[in-house]
Structure 1
Amino acid sequence: MVPISTLEQEGFIQLLKTLDRRYQLPSRKYFTREALPKMYTEVRQSLATQLTKVSHFALTTDMWSSRTCEPYMTVTIHFMEDWELKTARLQTSYFPQDHTGEHIAEALQDVLKTWKLNPTGLVAITTDNGANIVKAVQLNKWPRIQCFGHRLHLAIGHAMDDARITRAISLCKNVVSSFSYSWRKRRELAEVQIQLGLPSHQLLTEATTSWGSRLLMIERVLEQERALSKVLSVDMKTRPLVPTWQDIEVLEAVQKALKPCQDFTDALSGEKYVTLSYVRPVLHLFNTSLLAPGGGG
């Protein structure tokens, strides 16, 4: 899970020499031209053989962009084998075409043809609510299930559209940014963490596409609030970023409200068990307990 360029780094080379001077480290070309292609071919052939025995299956798909803004489409298959739920990533394809419903529909059809999957065996495909992907599924005349995780993400986003929450979240982001771009502040934070007996944790940045990352950011700020306040208050420029008691109160309320949703999302992300049947009982739990007046336990 590290770049192939690691092979050429002096520290890594020295590490292997220290472990065993007799070991001859393969070249970068060996991995790019032989080892990885061979591994890909073997894994792909093994999966293709496995899928020949599958009569019914479900798919999930999503369009996404890399950190360099390159567009991709990922397709995942779900099927039963010996009464066990199996999941496999069929492919992650570069998708430079316009993301129209027609182009996506054609790309999804190509996936089935490439893997020799019979469209009549497709039980359902799970997607988000993007108009283009909805149209693509309609064009292919496939049964579709809305992604509950995506809908939950949208619902939480709408629920947090409050001036007090917006201010507190914005403050969190600014606090994280002030430490992200200053090695000096990170060093000072590490020193204060030791002094206060706090965990030596780095701050976490929110990803706009995942409400769960916002919760993690909030939890980390609350965990390190004493250390953050001590470091920020020393500098005149960052002193306004010290969270007030009102900000802390709002962040604690948001954390308390979102934590059960995070646990539910984690459960819905399972690949070894059926998750669709979780939705209705959990919604009932939300309505009768978590979202009930005076609830939140």
Structure 2
Amino acid sequence: MSLTAHFINQDWNLCSRCLQTSYFPEDHTGEMLAKGLRESLQLWGLQEDRLVCVTTDNATNNILALQLNTERSVKLREVERAVGVCKKIVAAFSNSWKIRRELAKAQADQNPPLPPHQLITETPTRWGSMQKKTRHLVPTWQDMDVLESMNKALSPLKEFTDALSGELYPSVSYLKPVLHLFNNQILKHQDGITELTTTIKEGILKYLNEKYDDQTTQDLLDIASLVDPRFKTT
């Protein structure tokens, strides 16, 4: 379990320091992680009420440990099924060199040949490598429709996600312009898209707008964008 501090030094440079990486043999439940985090903060003399913010991934146990909002912007049964099938497919490919070999051969046999793409693993899980054991993992046409709708809603957000995740430059000043783009262009309702894509977009907008809705936060975001020279126009 690692604890990292981020701060601005006297020369206004962004800095980060890994305070500790400790052995954590206990089960990674939200309760146990919360206990470990409290002990780490106490060890370094850090008071929880003086923390500006805490950043974590979207893992449920981490969110629970920090007592953050556990609701996700999109939680639909058909989405969870389609994503679950994808995770199982990735796991099957990750744990079988025979299946990976067949994938590489299938890509090379295309005309023109496809690049040797590899499936991206989110959580490695052991699954049987025999074809007969993975036949049930083939997505249905309904799953493919769901995944296509998800891709249309989420793929435009990747560039913004990468920009807002940077550690070597201020990113808080990006939030107000990005929210404006999301509401007026990127996630705005469009004709000709599926109902699921529309639902996902609306869910993301609702989550983000509610998250930054209070006036104090709005004032902070306005000031951050105002003083950032990258948003100055001639």
Counterpart amino acid of 1:198? L
CA contact (8 A) 1:76 1:89 kept: yes
Pair 179,105 (structure 1): closer, same or farther in 2 beyond 3 Å: closer
What TM-score do the two structures reach when normalised by structure 1?
0.48
Pair 242,73 (structure 1): closer, same or farther in 2 beyond 3 Å: closer
Greater RCO (Cα-Cα under 8 Å, separation 6 or more)? 2
Structure 2 residues not aligned, in runs of 5+: 27-31, 192-197, 202-234
5 Å-filtered alignment, 1:205-220, equals 205-207=121-123
Rg (Cα) greater in structure: 1
CA contact (8 A) 1:149 1:265 kept: no
Counterpart amino acid of 2:8? F
Pair 284,237 (structure 1): closer, same or farther in 2 beyond 3 Å: same
Counterpart amino acid of 1:280? K
- In the alignment, is residue 73 of structure 1 matched against residue 2 of structure 2? yes
Equivalent of 2:104 in 176, 184, 190: 190
Equivalent of 1:92 in 16, 20, 24: 20
Which structure's residues are more often strand, by fraction?
Answer: 1
1: CA distance, partners of 2:14 / 2:85? 43
Structure 1 residues not aligned, in runs of 5+: 1-71, 111-135, 209-231
2: CA distance, partners of 1:103 / 1:237? 45
1:108: which partner in 2? Answer: 44
Pair 102,250 (structure 1): closer, same or farther in 2 beyond 3 Å: closer
What TM-score do the two structures reach when normalised by structure 2?
0.59
How many angstroms does 1:235 deviate by?
A: 4.3
- In the alignment, is residue 137 of structure 1 matched against residue 53 of structure 2? no
Task: Tell me how many residue pairs correspond in the alignment.
Answer: 172
2:204: which partner in 1? Answer: none
Pair 73,287 (structure 1): closer, same or farther in 2 beyond 3 Å: same
How many angstroms does 1:79 deviate by?
A: 1.9
Pair 90,148 (structure 1): closer, same or farther in 2 beyond 3 Å: closer
2: CA distance, partners of 1:294 / 1:155? 29
Q: State the Cα RMSD in Å.
A: 3.7
Q: Percent identity?
A: 36
Pair 254,243 (structure 1): closer, same or farther in 2 beyond 3 Å: same
